[in-house]
């Protein structure tokens, strides 16, 4: 069995260290208050058993908590007092150098928690280490100086999660929709160099990747671009190629029919589209931004965004090529085609592509084929989004949705000075999210002891705590000068403000949002009602919890003119943190705190048996109550030989839910060439990945792609998330 030291490093569990620590405390008290050697041995054995029952590697702090409880359970209160006093004294000594120890453990690559903190960051490479080192310093500043003490303590206790504290010290926001159209059509500036309007599709794609990298390096969350903004450059290339072809024909003295000329032009155009899309595909996966990972970018594919028929047809050409190249994948270091994590793809299901015989049905079939093999694209229903939001637009990153803008209706106008602003038309590109704070719903339930009146009282108190934490995020951005990120605030990605101008006006009136996140609705409902929230008797309570959070967001928004919005948090490492904190605060409670993870947002528990269609239909009601962002999924086996079933799920999504995805597996063992599912096994109390064919357990010699929380992870996960992945049941 392994344990996690304070600096994040792993080491073997050693029961003798527990015995020695208790003996030291025992010897420091009067003879009459001391325990016997047998009692000390039994305490150590009980602690060892409790650690083994966790099903994961416990931390030193958790082990010490268990020791305290066992000493007191034996009635040795003087010994417990001595043990606690010594522990407190040592913690005071450590306070001065905790950050130093963490940084050193990062450099030496022995911090297991950091290694698995982000499933798309390689903690061994210098750029990631540099980002983590800076993050530790920023986190230390934030927690000691910048944030109120009660918010820091609630965050540390897992009562709330103040996301991205490692970036809070800087004036940075979360995620956004890049106004690529404005930057391409009206020019931009990248590191002091003027980038003018491109004169071909391939050049536009190249500039787009430079913009993506710049944006990713100036924020800490995801970004989204639309292929619609690239579509006008297809016809520019078409006309340019036509001139070249006509000149060549004159030179050759050839006068073919118009039909043949058009074919030559279109063939060359398709080749340019292929090269342009390949530029985006390969640049995104090979770029390394300042935060140590490939840009977290989402590519939006919506035919309904096109302004005219020509643009719509050209957009379809781009989408077809994007899907074809993603289906092929990218080559790993052995030259084997594997599934890349980015860019994330979103395909909009609409009237013209959702039924057999519809105009773009073949495009939808290609999307289904790609999903079955590479897990993307994910799907947005035009029908449901129009019904629930009144408009269709992409999310920022993996799931964070803007609220439909209200500054346009309020007559505020072009507050970002965008070059492509259209009066009277709602604006989405160029808008952003200020940040996220998440409430731990199971903690609210457990703190109430199951008393419903007490639950609502504690819930309101915790929501107000989240509100104050979100205000900290908002106020940290107030006064931020546009100069801190010129690509964002001065050169079109989000705005075209003057140098030195603060971004303040973009923080109010609905131009940007700020997110109240939530996690563990399932466990919360299960504890309070004894049933899953899928049970008809428990569903009303679950919906009332959702409604209370929405009501609070509305209340804050009305009072402050800031667009608070409820967000179904995509927990990654935090699912493990919350689970550990719940166990520490409330012990192991069957069905509630007995896992190394808690359930993401409103999702049906990963182990609950439910079919794909029932799951999507059920979760649609909760997704509608998460206007700030949500995504649902169904877990499926290898579907490459059952595309009809994939298409049936897609049609169901179109009719029933705004945003959903299909989760499958895409693995490769570099030792033996196995391309089936790499499995999760348990060795010495730790979950590991193991090739079922050759037994390879070296993560450096395998490619594993799994859907983590709305996006694909490829760098492996912490023990809690790995347990959650192992526990998933198939829905189809």
- Which residues are the active-site residues? 174-175, 396, 398, 400, 433, 567, 572, 710
- Which H, E and C letters describe 635-653, residue by residue? ECCCCCCCHHHHHHHHHHH
- Rounded to the nearest 5°, which phi and psi values hold at 683? -135, 125
Tell me the two tokens of residue 22.
Answer: 């208790």
Q: Distance between CA atoms of 440 and 95, rounded to whole angstroms?
A: 27
- Rounded to the nearest 5°, which phi and psi values hold at 55? 75, 20
Bridge partners for 59 per DSSP: 4
Q: Cα 550 to the chain's mean position, in Å?
A: 21
Tell me the two tokens of residue 626.
Answer: 């998460």
Q: What is the CA radius of gyration of the chain?
A: 27
Strands 344-349 and 378-381, bridge-based pairing = parallel
Q: What is the DSSP letter of 481?
A: B
Dihedral angle computed from the Cα positions of residues 16, 21, 26 and 27, in that order, rounded to the nearest 10 degrees: 100
Q: Distance between CA atoms of 334 and 161, rounded to whole angstroms?
A: 40
By the 8 A CB rule, do 99 and 693 touch? no
Q: Distance between CA atoms of 696 and 699, rounded to whole angstroms?
A: 8
Closest CA to 720 of 687, 691, 689, 690: 687
By the 8 A CB rule, do 293 and 213 touch? no
Q: Cα 702 to the chain's mean position, in Å?
A: 23
- Rounded to the nearest 5°, which phi and psi values hold at 375? 75, -10
**309 Cβ neighbours under 8 A, 6+ residues apart:** none
Q: Distance between CA atoms of 206 and 316, rounded to whole angstroms?
A: 20
By the 8 A CB rule, do 699 and 668 touch? no
Q: Distance between CA atoms of 598 and 583, rounded to whole angstroms?
A: 11
By the 8 A CB rule, do 565 and 513 touch? yes
- Entry field: residues in the chain: 732
């Amino acid at each position: 069995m392994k344990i996690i030291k304070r600096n994040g490093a792993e080491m073997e569990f050693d029961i003798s260290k527990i015995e020695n620590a208790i003996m030291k405390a025992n010897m420091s008290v009067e003879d009459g208050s001391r325990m016997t050697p047998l009692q000390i041995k039994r305490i150590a054995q009980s602690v060892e058993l409790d650690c083994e029952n966790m099903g994961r590697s416990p931390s030193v702090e958790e082990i010490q908590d268990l020791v305290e409880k066992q000493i007191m359970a034996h009635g040795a209160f003087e010994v417990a007092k001595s043990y606690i006093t010594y522990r407190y004294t040592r913690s005071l000594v450590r306070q001065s150098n905790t950050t130093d120890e963490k940084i050193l453990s990062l450099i030496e690559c022995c911090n297991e928690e950091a290694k698995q903190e982000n499933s798309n960051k390689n903690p061994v490479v210098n750029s990631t280490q540099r980002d983590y080192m800076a993050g530790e310093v920023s986190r230390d500043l934030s927690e000691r100086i910048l944030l109120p003490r009660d918010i820091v303590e609630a965050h540390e206790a897992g009562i709330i999660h103040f996301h991205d504290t490692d970036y809070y010290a800087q004036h940075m926001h979360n995620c956004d929709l890049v106004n690529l159209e404005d930057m391409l059509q009206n020019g931009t500036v990248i590191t002091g160099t003027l980038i003018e309007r491109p004169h071909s599709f391939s050049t536009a794609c190249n500039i787009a990747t430079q913009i993506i990298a710049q944006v990713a390096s100036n924020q800490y969350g995801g970004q989204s671009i639309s292929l619609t903004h690239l579509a006008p450059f297809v016809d520019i290339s078409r006309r340019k190629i036509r001139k070249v072809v006509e000149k060549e024909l004159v030179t050759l003295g050839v006068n073919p029919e118009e039909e043949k000329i058009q074919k030559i032009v279109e063939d060359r155009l398709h080749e340019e589209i292929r090269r342009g899309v390949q530029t985006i595909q390969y640049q995104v996966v090979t770029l390394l931004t300042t935060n140590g990972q490939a840009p977290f970018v989402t590519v939006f594919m919506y035919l309904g965004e096109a302004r005219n028929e020509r643009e719509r047809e050209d957009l379809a050409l781009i989408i077809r090529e994007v899907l074809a190249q993603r289906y092929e994948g990218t080559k790993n270091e052995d030259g084997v085609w594997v599934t890349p994590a980015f860019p994330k793809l979103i395909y909009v299901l609409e009237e013209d592509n959702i039924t057999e015989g519809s105009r773009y049905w073949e495009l939808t079939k290609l999307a289904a084929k790609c999903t079955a093999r590479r897990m993307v694209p994910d799907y947005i229903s035009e029908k449901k989004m129009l019904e629930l939001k009144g408009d269709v637009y992409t999310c920022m990153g993996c799931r964070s949705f803007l609220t439909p803008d209200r500054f346009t209706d309020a007559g505020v106008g072009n507050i970002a000075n965008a070059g492509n602003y259209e009066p009277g038309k709602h604006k989405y590109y160029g808008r952003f999210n200020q940040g996220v704070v998440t409430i731990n719903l199971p903690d609210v339930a457990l703190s109430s002891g199951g008393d419903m009146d007490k639950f609502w009282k504690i819930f309101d108190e915790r929501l107000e705590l989240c509100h104050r934490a979100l205000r900290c995020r908002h106020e940290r951005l107030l006064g931020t000068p546009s100069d801190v990120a010129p690509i964002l605030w001065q050169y079109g990605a989000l705005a075209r403000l003057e140098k030195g101008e603060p971004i303040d006006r973009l923080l109010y009136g609905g131009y940007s949002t700020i997110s109240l996140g939530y996690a563990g609705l399932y466990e919360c409902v299960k504890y309070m009602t004894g049933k899953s929230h899928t049970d008809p008797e428990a569903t009303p309570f679950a919906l009332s919890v959702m409604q209370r959070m929405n009501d609070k967001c509305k209340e804050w928004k009305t009072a402050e003119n800031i667009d608070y919005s409820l967000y179904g948090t995509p927990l990654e490492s935090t699912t493990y943190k919350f689970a550990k904190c719940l166990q520490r605060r409330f012990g192991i409670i069957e069905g509630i705190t007995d896992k190394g993870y808690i359930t993401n947002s409103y999702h049906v528990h990963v182990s609950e048996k439910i079919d794909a269609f029932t799951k999507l239909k059920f979760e649609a009601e909760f997704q509608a109550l998460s206007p700030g962002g949500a995504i649902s999924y169904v877990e499926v086996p290898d579907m490459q030989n059952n595309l009809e079933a994939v298409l049936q799920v897609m049609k169901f999504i179109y009719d029933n839910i705004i945003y959903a995805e299909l989760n499958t597996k895409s693995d490769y063992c570099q030792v033996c060439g196995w391309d089936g599912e790499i499995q999760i096994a348990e060795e010495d109390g730790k979950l590991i990945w193991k090739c079922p064919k050759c037994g390879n357990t070296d993560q450096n010699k395998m490619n594993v792609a799994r859907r983590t929380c709305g996006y694909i992870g490829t760098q492996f996960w912490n023990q809690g998330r790995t347990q959650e992945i192992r526990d998933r049941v198939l829905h189809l």
